[in-house]
Amino acid sequence: MDIPDLLLASKPDRVRFVDGDAVRIGRMAFGFVGGGVPTPLGIPGEVARDVYDAKFERVGPVDVICTHMPPRLPAYTYDVVAKRFEPGSDALIGYIQRHQPRYALFGHVHQPLVDRGRIGSTELVNVGHFQANGRGFTIEVPD
């Protein structure tokens, strides 16, 4: 999810590429927003903020929103090992406030201050932080 163009270029033909779109798995809808907002580092996968933000509008309401970028909140964007703030997404916060998906799954910050929390009824989960406890995050998806 961090470099959508690289993923698109290297995926097998039988695999569907989803970025700024949603898919159904069982009875749940999953939305995907790849890449990230611009930083001074010019990291691959960064796109203009308006391009990134527009992906959320294309996704529409889903049960689970999946992004590389965390919400732009200090507890999720501060890396305690690197001792710096990483970029986060204001558009993700707005999306969550409007649509209240059951989950918002993201990564990018490897050692955040917190790895879980909430915005309203949406559970926020940094799924890349499993290295801290050795347990991945799973969702039971009804058929």
Between 49-59 and 90-99, two packed helices, what is the crossing angle to 10 degrees? 20
- Domain-embedded: residue 133: no
Q: Is residue 41 one of the residues assigned to a domain? A: yes
Q: Is residue 75 part of a domain?
A: yes
Q: Tell whether 137 is covered by a domain.
A: no
pLDDT digits (tens, 9 = 90+) for 47-100: 999 999 999 999 999 999 999 999 999 999 999 999 999 999 999 999 999 999
In a domain, 99, yes or no: yes
CB environment 81-119: b (16+ within 10 A), e (fewer): eeeeebbbbebbbebbeebebebbbbbbbebbeebebeb
Confidence of residue 43 (pLDDT cuts 50, 70, 90): confident
Helical residues (DSSP H) of 68-114, grouped into ranges: 74-77, 90-99
Q: pLDDT digit string (tens) for 27-40?
A: 999 999 999 988 88
**Residue 82 structural domain:** 4-9+17-128
Contact 43, 49 (CB under 8 A): no
Count of CB atoms situated within 10 Å of the CB of 135: 8
Domain count, the chain: 1
Q: Tell me, yes or no, whether 26 lies in a domain.
A: yes
Q: In CATH, what number is assigned to the domain containing residue 111?
A: 3.60.21.10
The amino acid that residue 137 corresponds to is F
Question: Does a structural domain hold residue 143?
Answer: no
Enter the DSSP assignment of 87: P
Q: Is residue 107 part of a domain?
A: yes
Q: Which residues pair with 117 in a beta bridge?
A: 124
Q: Burial of 40 by CB count in 10 Å (0-12 exposed, 13-18 middle, 19+ buried)?
A: exposed
- pTM (2 d.p.): 0.91
**Model pLDDT, residue 3:** 81
The per-residue pLDDT for 74 is: 96
